[in-house]
Chains A and B, each alone.
Chain A
Amino acid sequence: MKETVIDAHNLSKIYDEKTIPVYALNKVHLHISRGEFTAIKGPSGSGKTTLLNMIGGLDIPSEGFVEINGTNITELKGNELIDFRLNNIGFVFQSYNLIPVLTAKENIEFIMLLQKRSKQETEQRVLELLKEIGLEDKINKRPRELSGGQQQRVAVARALAPKPQFILADEPTANLDSVSAENLLDMMLKLNQEENMTFVFSTHDQRVINRARRVITLEDGKIVADTAPTSIIHKQIAKI
């Protein structure tokens, strides 16, 4: 049996509870196992980002709780929660992901320094990651000197640097051209397959949905479908 990394129980987020309650999320149950490559899709306002924020410990649910590797993160507060995020969750945001005044190498180093890792370990890991994302020749470039796709690759490397349990990516390809988006997806899939890294995306992008092993569809704050995408099913049928 696969190890569960993310376990969301009866998760709800209600706005304007006292007047007319609006459910951003409505009693969502979600289990994600190690090594999954999951896309969460749905129309705007369906609750994708809210779900991701709750899994990432950035937002507090109105009801229910989230367990990451057995730790109920809904009970963590302040610095304890920040430390948990630092050591267990990697984040990739849509844009403006990197610290503009630091180079690609420093952006990746930065998160490991927050973890108080040794200089030697940090140096080794950063170079390893830069090689892995194919940007070893751009180590001293600042974000403004990198393309959007290259910036997102550095963001993925930064998310991977602290060796998290999983990576949450909020529409990572939204601002990328198709070549950059494909390259980024190739890189993430490679990391998923070779390092068994768990990825959870929120996305509108069909290219991401097509590559996902599992697709969760949200509508009005509820999970309405939880399947593999058609392309994957077709491939599997073809194999059989």
Chain B
Amino acid sequence: MILKLIWRNLWRNSRRTLITMASIAFAVLFAVLMKSFQDGVFNNLIKNVVGYYSGYVQIHQKGYWDEQILDNSFELKKELNNQLQQNHQITAIVPRLETFVLASKGNTTKGCLLVGTDAVRENKLTQLKSKLIKGSYFENNEATVLIAEGLAKRLEVSVSDTIVLFGQGFHGVMAAGKYKIKGIIHLASPEMNAAFVYLPLTATQSFLSAENRLTSVSIGIDDPENTDAIAQNIKAIIGQQYEVMPWQELIPDVANHIKADGFSFYIFSGILYLIIGFGLFGTVLMMTAERKYEFGMLIAIGMKKSKLQLILFGETVLITFFGVLLGILMSLPLVLYLQEKPIRFGGELAKAYEQFGFEALFPTNVDPNIFITQSLIVLGMAVLIGVYPLWHIHGLDPVNAMKK
């Protein structure tokens, strides 16, 4: 009988119930869309930034990040390599030897970042081959370089030209070498585009007299959500002489931007929920006020206040439950569609994004947690609002309630 009463009371003013349900449904729809867009865009941003160079996790010799010199390089032992390869969540392991050197052509000399890397593995993590705008991609057994477009312009060099690299090698030895340019690459970040030179790892180690040594191992993973867990896992396996850094520590600017934007999401969704909360409260207030006589009559004829409270609470929760359900049913196909066919900006906006190494792409993230969290927030709000009729009934005097 209680359930029957809850259900029928819900529909005694069907228009009002439907409007309230619709407002809850739209709140859930907007909140889910906002959050899944935000997560989707951030995941894409992370994929872009992290996939562009750093990788999701990096391993260095302990102390390297604070003092980035070749003397803080390390030897990649076979067992460490095996341990990393055994982790199924790791999709790419890129050994690198990086240092600042001078690049020279004729009378022009410029400072640059020399990145000694495995040609095949590098391409797997950062799709370096796809950034080639002239010439061809280098191979591991060669001693040829890929030079960033901006640096090539500054040195006034092109494919097949030879540049001289010189700098300081391992343990302070003099490093100098002549390398033929095999390709010119375009890197979206202006800073990187003006300074990067890629050389196969073996050739770099030989150039810097640092046989078998690396400054970093960049790691690609299958799910960015697991970055911290994987970093912790690696840390636990490889021992104390290494430092393991997730991308948030490697690129703190991006991590902070995401954190700040996440905070603004909470403000926006908070405002949204506040508006919906007041809407729902208004409905509950009306539902309570217009039935005051009826409540008085029910208590007078022998209905316990707790039963009446249960009915009213049930009405509030049920109205919210249906609103939330409707919201999920409305948002799910939309979020799925936008994940499959993300919004892609064109024109100047796309160019501006691409200049900074980001795709002008706005995908959504279909994460069940988003739906669960947003639904629980609205339901929690309903429970909170549902306290009002309970309080009202608690203090209800049937004689006063039945006065007209």
Contacts and interface: CB of A to CB of B under 8 A. Distances in A.
Interface of A: 53, 56, 58-59, 79, 82-83, 85-87, 91, 93, 96-97, 99-102, 106, 109-111, 113-115, 158-159, 162
B399 A53 contact: yes
Given A93-B297, A99-B5, A102-B4, 12 more contacts: A58-B399, A79-B305, A82-B302, A83-B302, A85-B300, A85-B302, A86-B302, A96-B297, A111-B301, A114-B302, A114-B304, A115-B302
A86 B301 CA distance: 6
B300 A56 contact: yes
Contacts of A87: 302
Interface in B18-73: none
B399 A79 contact: no
A96 B293 contact: yes
Going nearest first, the 3 A-B pairs with the smallest beta carbon separation are A86-B302, A101-B8, A85-B302
Contacts of A100: 12, 294
A96 B306 CA distance: 22
Nearest to A84: B302
A110 B304 CA distance: 13
A25 B361 CA distance: 79
Contacts of B275: none
Interface residues of B, number: 22
A109 B294 CA distance: 17
Contact of B301 (A85, A96, A101): A85
B298 interface: yes
Instruction: Among A53, A101, A115, find the residue whose CB has the most chain B CB atoms closer than 10 A.
Output: A101
B5 A102 contact: yes
Instruction: Among A96, A159, A162, find the residue whose CB has the most chain B CB atoms closer than 10 A.
Output: A96
B251 interface: no
B80 interface: no
Contacts of A97: 297
Interface in B298-312: 298-307
A115 B401 CA distance: 23
Interface in B273-322: 293-294, 297-307
A82 B399 CA distance: 13
Contacts of B298: 99
Instruction: Among B8, B300, B398, find the residue whose CB has the most chain A CB atoms closer than 10 A.
Output: B300
Instruction: Among B9, B293, B294, find the residue whose CB has the most chain A CB atoms closer than 10 A.
Output: B294
A17 to B, nearest CB: 17
Contacts of B302: 82-83, 85-87, 111, 114-115, 162
A216 B350 CA distance: 91
28 contacts: A53-B399, A58-B399, A82-B302, A82-B304, A82-B305, A85-B301, A85-B302, A86-B301, A86-B303, A91-B300, A91-B301, A93-B297, A93-B402, A96-B293, A96-B297, A97-B297, A100-B12, A100-B294, A101-B5, A101-B12, A102-B4, A102-B8, A106-B1, A109-B1, A110-B1, A111-B301, A111-B302, A159-B301
A158 B301 contact: yes
B115 to A, nearest CB: 74
B303 A59 contact: no
A97 B296 CA distance: 11
A79 B9 CA distance: 24
B311 to A, nearest CB: 11
A93 B300 CA distance: 10
Interface in B367-404: 398-399, 402
A114 B402 contact: no
A135 B291 CA distance: 27
Contacts of B305: 79, 82
A87 B304 CA distance: 13
B402 to A, nearest CB: 7
A82 B1 contact: no
Contacts of A101: 5, 8-9, 12
B358 to A, nearest CB: 57
A115 B306 CA distance: 15
Contacts of B294: 96, 99-100
Nearest to A113: B1
B99 to A, nearest CB: 80
A97 B294 CA distance: 8
A110 B301 CA distance: 11
Interface in B184-224: none
A115 B304 CA distance: 11
B6 to A, nearest CB: 10
A86 to B, nearest CB: 3
A169 to B, nearest CB: 13
Given A82-B299, A82-B302, A59 B399 contact: yes
Contacts of B399: 53, 58-59
A99 B304 CA distance: 15
Interface string B309-352: 00000000000000000000000000000000000000000000
Contacts of B402: 93
B314 to A, nearest CB: 13
